[in-house]
Chain A
Amino acid sequence: MPALLEIRDLVKVYPRGTRAIDGISLDIRRGEFVVLIGLSGSGKSTLLRCINRLVEPTSGKVIFDGTDVTLASSRDLRRIRRRIGMIFQQFNLVKRSSVFANVLAGRLGYRSPWRTIASKPSREDVALAFENLERVSILEKAYVRADALSGGQQQRVGIARALMQEPQLMLADEPVASLDPATSHSVLRYLEEINKTDGITVICSLHFLSLARRYATRVIALKAGRVAFDGKPLEIDEHRFKEIYGEDAVEVEIGVTRTAEEKRAADAAVVERLDPAADR
């Protein structure tokens, strides 16, 4: 089967001359959980936004499921976008609207502009909204205003909104950067769940390598707009880490502090998860 997403020689130069993406080529296969790492300004956000053209690439190609995104007309682009969910660091919910209204808005790409203002949401859309709210365990907050929720809850609403699109690909732009460690894990577990259960491919940028090791099936590191590493999470040793983050960088743990033995056990569990056949 061809890759779900093909990126070819992608370049993005911002009007002020910054080369945010400097020639990236990648193939993302179906079902992968890709984590993007790299310093702030290394191009993670720009790369994610070039995939659904929230940022217009300067040159290169993005091919999603056989369709060239970069050449798509605005109508075709909207059809592509609705198959690609996206969640954000700041959650980007409409704060004054209810959780339910926010989730329902994820369905807008499937509705005509006229129906948006003139008719009630369809029975199917409402049912789907409740189903997705239940999936992220936030059903009881459906009619609460979005800004009354905690950060972790808001991000789950963000996931439910993206799920309304019934996406094949989920882009996550530092989804846990504004959350505490415990909440970070809970949000990433929901992403992991939709990745495994629904087979939705996930591309997620993260700041903590420990989170990347725990959730990723593949880690791609960006440095100054280029791919500095692309491989299995456990292949990133201290040497590689310094290559990506610079000589002075020290790895910080997120989550519970563990002893060396516990860490080895956890890593073994990750290996098993990545390659279930390895130990058998």
Chain B
Amino acid sequence: MAEYFTARGLPVPPELRRTPLTDWRRWSLIGLTLAVLYVGVRLLDIDLSRANPDYAGTRILSLLQWDLSILTPQNEFETFWDTAGGLMIITIFLGVVATAISIVFALPLAFLGARNIMTGNAVATGIYGAVRVLFTVMRSIDVLIVVIIFSVIFGLGSAAGVFGLAFHNVGVLGKLYSEAIEGIDPGPPEAITATGATRFQVVWAAVLPQIVNPFVSFSIYRLDANVRLAPVLGFVGGGGIGQFLFQTINLFQYNKAGLIIFLIVITVALMDFASAQIRKRLV
């Protein structure tokens, strides 16, 4: 077969020279993967001897035997907002408020971080680069780490959770928004520029109408993700129901922890359903 190509002075296709089973590259790739996994397992020192099925069984059972007392105020100092239900609602709003704050900051920054808007001179290109680097930095620090840092600034509680979550999301939404702006049809802005409109008028009349849909869609997607994340933030000092859950686990109150986890699962499921419905109607 190879003569067909050599006789005509053509390069022989690599498929003709190698058969899959004898290709050393394939075998070395498989060997390398196995070697990496072997080293990893050895380094991790995974020890199954400490597993205790009997103990785990009773604990998991107690996760399901809910202590309903956390659903009602227990003494004269507690109100509804100290109960598990109240804290869950507060936690949902933690995600909502954080999303709102991040939208307010990401929206204007996204235009400064869109290459097709920031054209024409060196200053504009410089701002574009700086904003994009800012987004990447904000996004690359994990939410939990941001909240820990913010809890040093604001102290333990909702402030650290809200601002930490918002900070991270400015980076995420900023990137999503500016990529949506960069993906628009350049025709309408060109046409409006040709009518003698200013750069601001071009954005207003020809860019905004094209990005409303992706912006709403991205915002709902982040709202969904943030409400999902909010319960965890309490573990690192971000307030909300997570703080309560963290306490009960540390105190081995698995009857309470189980109920809280159940509430979180219900909330996330409802949120999932709601955001899917909204996004479906939008598109």
Residues of chain A touching chain B, judged by Cβ–Cβ distance below 8 Å, are 52, 54, 78-86, 88, 90-97, 105-111, 113, 116-117, 158, 161-162, 164-165, 171
Q: A54-B194, A78-B198, A84-B194 are in contact. Are A93 and B188 (CB under 8 A)?
A: yes
Given A81-B196, A161-B191, are A108 and B201 also a contact pair (CB < 8 Å)?
A: yes
Q: Could you tell me which residues of chain B, from 150 to 199, have a CB within 8 Å of some CB in chain A?
A: 185, 187-188, 190-198
Instruction: Give the contact stretch, choosing among B63-71, B79-87, B203-211, B224-232.
Output: B203-211
- Classify the secondary structure of B's interface with A: helix
Q: Are A106 and B195 in contact (CB-based, < 8 A)?
A: yes
Given A94-B210, A96-B209: A108 and B187 interface contact (C-beta under 8 Å): no
A82:B196 contact, CB within 8 angstroms: yes
Asked if B55 is at the interface of the complex by the 8 Å CB criterion, the answer is no
Contact A54 B192 (CB under 8 A): no
Q: Which chain B residues have a beta carbon within 8 Å of chain A's beta carbons?
A: 185, 187-188, 190-198, 200-201, 204-206, 209-210, 212-213
Of chain B, the residue at the smallest CB distance from A111 is B201
Interface of A, secondary structure class, is mixed
Q: Which of chain B's residues have a CB closer than 8 A to the CB of A91?
A: 187
The reply to whether B196 and A165 form a contact with Cβ atoms under 8 Å apart is: yes
Chain B: which residue is nearest A93 at the CB level? B188
Q: Is A97 within 8 A of B209, CB to CB?
A: yes
Interface centre among A54, A94, A165, A171 (most CB of B within 10 A): A94
In the complex with contacts A96-B209, A97-B209, A117-B204, A88-B196 CB distance below 8 A: no
Q: How far is the CA of A162 from the CA of B194 in the complex (A)?
A: 9
CA distance A90 to B185 in the complex (A): 10
Give every chain B residue within 8 A of A52 (Cβ-Cβ): 194
Complex formed: what's the CA distance from A108 to B206 in Å? Answer: 11
Question: In the complex, which residues of chain A have a beta carbon less than 8 angstroms from the beta carbon of B191?
Answer: 86, 88, 92-93, 158, 161
A94 to B198, CA, bound (A): 17
| Min distance, Cβ A22 to any Cβ of chain B, angstroms | 24
By a CB distance below 8 angstroms, the chain B residues around A86 are: 191, 194-195
Chain A residues near B209 (CB-CB < 8 A): 94, 96-97
Q: Which residue of B lies closest to A104 (CB)?
A: B205
